[in-house]
Chains A and B, each alone.
Chain A
Amino acid sequence: MSTAVASRGPAGVGAADPAGSRWLRRLRFFAAVLRQRPTFAIGYAIVAVVIVTALLAPWIVPYGPMVADPTVYLLPPGRGHLLGTDGTGMDILSRVLYAPRVDLAIAGIGTLVSASIGSCIGAIVGYYEGQRSWRRAVSASVMRSADVLQAFPVFVFAIALVAVFGQSVRSIVVAIAFVNAPIYLRLMRTQVLSIRRLRYVEAAYVAGASDLSILARHVIPNAMAPVLAQLSVNIGWAVLLTAGLSFVGAGVVAPTPEWGSMIAMGFQNVVTGQWWPSVFPGIALGVTVFGFALVGASVEVLADPVRRRILSGSLG
């Protein structure tokens, strides 16, 4: 992506700069963007905090995340247990802080897998589409298959996948990868279809470069921007999907700290008035997805040369 952005940057700048100061300049630009659009800064801050929390969870939680103390069940938030305890007497704060380890790992890996598989297939399909050969037929049938996959009710499909592969973290990752791959396939195909017709791709073709090297060197790097933007947004969705699966009992198994299953565990308590076992994990979940959505929105702006130009102009 870096090469693509550099080559689209304002003419004359960058080429002569030593690499170090170029990065410094980019960093400074990024900082200026965050100052200009504080909302984006909030997004990056949220994502950073969530990731750091996930990494440091074992050292910062006050209680064991799976240790149930039956003597203190359903304590309201207060001293000792800042966010209270749930129906089995587990500390909610510790579990909320531990949960991103599971949620982010599942969502992140699932999304990365779907993005790499989906966009590779999408790039190839887009590149060969409209060519007069058997490859065209293959492209068309891949697209029709993607149609079929996307016509499925997403949630039922995901649950079925988990059921097929057995209830485990790996199955949830597979389910997430599977239901999201068509999105990247389409995104990449549309991008490649437009990039393929650009002068420099044709030039590479005329110069005798192989299809594979044209794809790898010229097409894919320049088509990555929307994929990256989608990636961040999609991690958020994947967290939501993971939580949803756990909520119906087809995801992460109960005592493991995970936001969706925590909300599910607190479900009955909410009706009787103990809101905290469900509300806090939900807030953590919502804030996390919100953060990833903001980062995705910022990537969309930063990766779009026109909008970046406008932004850098208004930064003066």
Chain B
Amino acid sequence: MPILRYIGRRVLFVIPQLFGIILVSFFLVKLIPGDPAVMMLGPTASTQSIAELRDKLGLSKPLITQFGRYLHDVARGDLGTSWQTTRPVTEDLFQRFPATLELITLGLLVALAIGFPLGVAAARRRRGPIRKFADYYGLLAGALPDFWLALVLIYVFYTALGWIPAPLGRIDMAVVPPPTVTGSLVIDSLIAGNLAALASSLGHLLLPVLTLGLINAGPILKMTQSTVERTLSSDFIRYAEMCGLPRRVVLRQAVRAALPSVLTIVSVLYGFLIGGAVLVEIVFSWGGAGQYAVQGVLNADVNPVLGFVVFSAVLSLVIYLVVDLLYFALDPRMRG
């Protein structure tokens, strides 16, 4: 099976990359000024108790030894403990990543729903209002800060119109959340059959998802437009026209040929948003993974930051693997 060989090579290639990422982030994070031992014990702690804690945490050993030990732990799935939450980082991340993933998955679906059809429509005509709108939309979506758009949406839909619940967290305080199965509140509510939780979580998702969707529709739109435009003037589409195939069939073939590029941009955005959605997470007090990492950086809490980086790298790997599988499905030339 060529596909298995391909995936195998891909995974092998990622291992040194993962190592490089851990290496760089480990030393980078270690460079952040601030002594975790001091932060954990507070400013009033005695020098002796600080030294004891440093020994216990392994902080007094040389950096390279610390790195070796960290690698050893990571290989066993232990990402250390966060001194802020005093919980194992792995547990924290397993709790927070689903929140982020639920948010950005839905956000990208909305972005696709806006950007893809608009891109196809704009590619069909070189002039006209749709094309103009698409051009400006692409530029504008790339120019607006997402955290600002989130605030504007909050003002309009919460403060002024009052259509949505208070933009705090993923679910109303008063609603009992469903038992955790997948970590996605929407899916878990459906599993539990808890309609109140479902409604509340959907209500809380609405604005952040809309924010991410509106902003990220820009690159999807541009990519779709330029690729469909290129395929529409390609040899095989011209031949399809010469064969007198109906316009919609020709267009469908052109769109079909553009799918791999759209897939690529979506996967790139997905990888970016794992950490890049943090500003939107902060605005909505989402409690996602990005927010967790930023808190870690700002408080010299090393393990959450490293854990986040490792987690998102592995996640990107999974995404790229899925994308590769889809490429295989989309393009017979890759199966050869």
Chain A interface residues toward B at CB < 8 A:
39, 144-145, 147-149, 151-157, 159-161, 163-164, 166, 236, 240, 243-244, 247-250, 260, 263, 266-267, 270-273, 275, 278-279, 282, 285-290, 293-294, 297
Contact = CB atoms under 8 A, between A and B. Distances in A.
A259 to B, nearest CB: 8
Contacts of A263: 145, 147-148, 151
Nearest to B273: A153
A285 B142 CA distance: 12
A263 B159 CA distance: 17
Q: In terms of DSSP, what is the predominant structure of the interface of chain B? A: helix
Interface in B284-312: 290, 293-294, 297-298, 300, 305, 308-309, 312
A156 B17 CA distance: 18
Interface in B112-145: 135, 139-140, 142-145
Contacts of B152: 275, 279, 282
Contacts of A248: 278-279, 282, 294, 298
B143 A290 contact: yes
Given A154-B272, A160-B25, A270-B154, A282 B145 contact: yes
B29 A286 contact: no
29 contacts: A153-B272, A153-B274, A154-B275, A154-B276, A155-B275, A156-B294, A156-B297, A156-B308, A157-B28, A161-B28, A164-B28, A164-B32, A236-B142, A236-B143, A240-B145, A249-B298, A250-B297, A263-B147, A263-B148, A267-B151, A270-B151, A271-B154, A271-B155, A271-B159, A272-B159, A273-B159, A282-B152, A286-B140, A290-B140
Nearest to B142: A293
Contacts of B57: none
A273 B158 CA distance: 9
B21 A160 contact: no
Contact of A270 (B25, B155, B294): B155
Contacts of A287: 143
Contacts of B272: 153-154
Q: In terms of DSSP, what is the predominant structure of the interface of chain A? A: helix
Contact of B21 (A151, A240, A244, A289): A151
B297 A160 contact: yes
Contact of B309 (A147, A156, A279, A294): A156
Most buried by A among B143, B293, B316: B143
Given A151-B17, A282-B144, A290-B139, 11 more contacts: A153-B290, A154-B272, A160-B297, A160-B305, A164-B32, A240-B145, A244-B145, A244-B279, A248-B298, A272-B159, A279-B155
Contacts of B147: 244, 247, 263
Nearest to B27: A164
Interface in B201-225: none
Size range of the interface on B? 35 or more
Contact of B144 (A144, A153, A157, A286): A286
A126 to B, nearest CB: 21
Given A156-B275, A270-B159, A282 B148 contact: yes
A3 to B, nearest CB: 30
A278 B148 contact: yes
B321 to A, nearest CB: 15
B230 to A, nearest CB: 15
A247 B155 contact: no
B323 interface: no
A147 B155 contact: no
